[in-house]
Amino acid sequence: MGGMPQSFKKVALVGKYDNLALAESVERLADFLAGHGYEVILARQTAKTLDQPRYRQANLTELPGMAEVVIVLGGDGTMLSIARALAPYPVPLIGVNQGRLGFLTDITVGNMEAELARMLAGEYDAEERVLLTASLEREDGTHNEGSAFNDVVVSKAGTGRLIEFEVIIDNEYVYTQRSDGLVVATPTGSTAYAMSAGGPILYPTLEAIALVPICPHTLSARPIVVSSQSRVDIIIHHADDARVHFDGQNYFDLQKGDKVSICRVPYNVTLLHPKHYSYYDTLRQKLHWGKQI
């Protein structure tokens, strides 16, 4: 997305699945775009929520080859899952929130037609966001992988007992910790679980990763921020019941001896924002900064 902003004519729409309330908004937007000369493609699962879908349909991962931009209707959780699925493809994403302003979905349904008309004509700002990938390696040779736009979280599951793990960054031992777990967050995810655990807020386009302990069993444990080029290895020393979570939407169970290796992927997620978009304004609204309590 470097250079002068481009305009778009081929637009894909993806709505939160199994959400009938959102179907009306999807259909309204599709009709608006088609009526203004745009080619509209619907994600196949989104089209299933419409009574009489009148537009071309395709599977989610086929959309980047057919459309120049993908508009995601739903909340931040919907954007997380769609961004992970489409991240390997060079297609920008625009988020429309059915409810209030989101961190990732910063256009509201009420004014989406006017906002999107300007953006599709080239009036937008593009942001490149870091995405993480994590691999789980077990001593018996078992291997699993997952990706995260917000965070990779190693934590206890149902027993309530602390877990013990070792953290290695770029092949250098950092510490062994007993805690409820560890959040490894991108700048995008720094306002999610990591913030609740006491981590720093990172500006979205920073090339950085935050490591935030969850209820550590020592007051000296503090969050640290490292380069996004770093590799973070977490080795489980003791865990009666532990898991590794990806954006809070997918997970694998963990056991003693497992190693979770986390690093960024070699491509970014491109988000498009309206020209008037301000990250600091979003923080003020979402976190109620400056308001009297």
User: Do the Cβ atoms of 118 and 274 come closer than 8 Å?
Assistant: yes
β-bridge partners, 246: 152, 250
Q: Distance between CA 100 and CA 285 in Å, rounded? A: 10
Residue type, 84: R
Q: Which listed residue (18, 31, 51, 76) is catalytic?
A: 76
Give which of 123, 161, 182, 171 is closest to 238, Cα–Cα. Answer: 161
In the chain, count of helices (H) and strands (E)? Answer: 6, 20
Q: In this structure, is the dihedral angle defined by the CA atoms of residues 163, 164, 170 and 174, taken in order, positive or negative?
A: positive
DSSP 205: T
* Residue 233 bears catalytic tag: no
Report the catalytic residues: 76
